[in-house]
Structure 1
């Protein structure tokens, strides 16, 4: 099995303007691609979120509820095409930074059951890395054997890929400095956890269950997936992708302001 240096999630709130439909934050995307290149790591897997491309359309057509009627077909097509457009922008940024990126869309490589990821082909990711490519995947619509179709997030894919491919580290780029005790956008003095164990993260999830960390639940899902990955024995980094240089430092093993969830060691 090929050794994976890192699996990196480029958050949708980082690489797009969430308040501007179908708009890439080009400056940030290009910089993050340069930081990935400057890390010197050649065996990377990139996952990206939907931001202002996938989320508004998925909500408009209620795709998160599965197949309810033929009128949703238009929404499935529109949402998938929007994600392909964002994916193309990510591919271009990576290629401009020296990578040979190759897209592996979940619609063609994954299946779900009852809204949960059931199977993801990992062999294409392995073969791509062996041949010197950089695999890129993203949150997407996938077919579901009970609901017709489901939305599988980039965070879900981070967990599945980490489980199968065992990267040296898993990195989530977000639009805040890491994991906080409270939403830092509402509580500027909220405590940032610079390092925590999987058990401490689980306790935080229990405490925040009745008061989600953000209004959309996005950070809440990241907490859940970060906990799963750390429970596999892998270190998880949650870092602000909007702050120049931070992703690069995480990839190079340099201490930087972020949250590290330490993997559970046997």
Structure 2
């Protein structure tokens, strides 16, 4: 629903899946036509109080796998940190440029520069500068990235981990995940709602493309933890981005708490 006059806009996170901004069947093939459509939809809706987080898609996952970042990094073996960050940063720049071309005050924010992890999990993200950006009407655009890990040297922090962490840190009201499917599918049908109680009954397939961050099951695990903390989320088709930003129904899957 629109915000009342004189009240600050609600804050939302819009997560753009890597599959909708890249071609996952090729190494770092950016879907520029898809980005153009997305940027138009975002620019045509409200864009105050929005944080955009995007996945890496085919940019970053192949590099992370090639350099075995799942096992971390060690002295003298850090090339994978640079190569993976370079790939995802390039994709982030393409997203920012597309948004800015439509009048959205987007600016890229790189987790490598602001976050820390331990044993593969995000444990900190400096977010005070994000508060200032939002207050100035800017739209931070954050991405899945390689970050330094206290135990492993380095690890990949997915966009979904970032969603969970920043939703709490920034007091986000609503979270929406735009994907290349209309929601979470079970037997070809959209599951309207997922809770911890219903999750064990679902049959959810994993991505057939290279994904080092857990695919759909990893995504839902993060969102269930987010719901446990009090913030519900929706997974929907990318064509419904404008509906989500307007607070309208998306026809997707809602992930709820207990």
- TM-score using structure 1 length: 0.86
Alignment of 1:239-258 (within 5 A): 239-241=236-238, 244=239, 246-258=240-252
Match of 1:97 in 2: 102
Alignment of 1:1-266 (within 5 A): 4-68=10-74, 70=76, 72-181=77-186, 189-196=187-194, 198-200=195-197, 203-204=198-199, 206-207=200-201, 213-215=205-207, 216=211, 217-241=214-238, 244=239, 246-262=240-256
Q: Out of 4-13 and 157-166, give the one that drifted further.
A: 4-13
Q: Out of 172-181 and 45-54, give the one that drifted further.
A: 172-181
Between the aligned partners of 1:226 and 1:255, the Cα distance in structure 2 is: 19
More helix by share: 1
Q: Is the 8 A contact 2:43 2:103 kept in 1?
A: yes
Q: Can you give the 5+ residue segments of structure 2 that lack an aligned partner in the other structure?
A: 1-7
Q: Is the 8 A contact 1:4 1:166 kept in 2?
A: no
Deviations 1:208-261 (A, max 9, x none): 6xx7631453101110111112222222010112xx3x1111221222321122
Between the aligned partners of 1:138 and 1:107, the Cα distance in structure 2 is: 10
What secondary structure is seen at the aligned counterpart in 1 of 2:60?
helix
Match of 1:185 in 2: none
Between the aligned partners of 2:232 and 2:193, the Cα distance in structure 1 is: 10
What secondary structure is seen at the aligned counterpart in 2 of 1:50?
coil
Q: Is the 8 A contact 2:47 2:139 kept in 1?
A: no
Between the aligned partners of 1:117 and 1:129, the Cα distance in structure 2 is: 22
- Over 3 Å off, 4+ runs: none
RMSD: 1.9
Between the aligned partners of 1:52 and 1:199, the Cα distance in structure 2 is: 30
May I ask how many residue pairs the two structures share in their alignment?
246
Q: Is the 8 A contact 1:169 1:235 kept in 2?
A: yes
Q: Can you give the 5+ residue segments of structure 1 that lack an aligned partner in the other structure?
A: 182-188
Between the aligned partners of 2:106 and 2:112, the Cα distance in structure 1 is: 18
What secondary structure is seen at the aligned counterpart in 2 of 1:52?
coil
Pair 1:19–1:94, CA change in 2 (3 A):
same
Deviation at 1:69, TM superposition (A): 5.8
Q: Out of 84-93 and 59-68, give the one that drifted further.
A: 59-68
Match of 1:186 in 2: none
Q: Is the 8 A contact 1:141 1:151 kept in 2?
A: yes
Deviation at 1:56, TM superposition (A): 0.5
Deviations 1:170-212 (A, max 9, x none): 011112111123xxxxxxx43321234x334xx31x356xx76
Q: Is the 8 A contact 2:196 2:257 kept in 1?
A: no
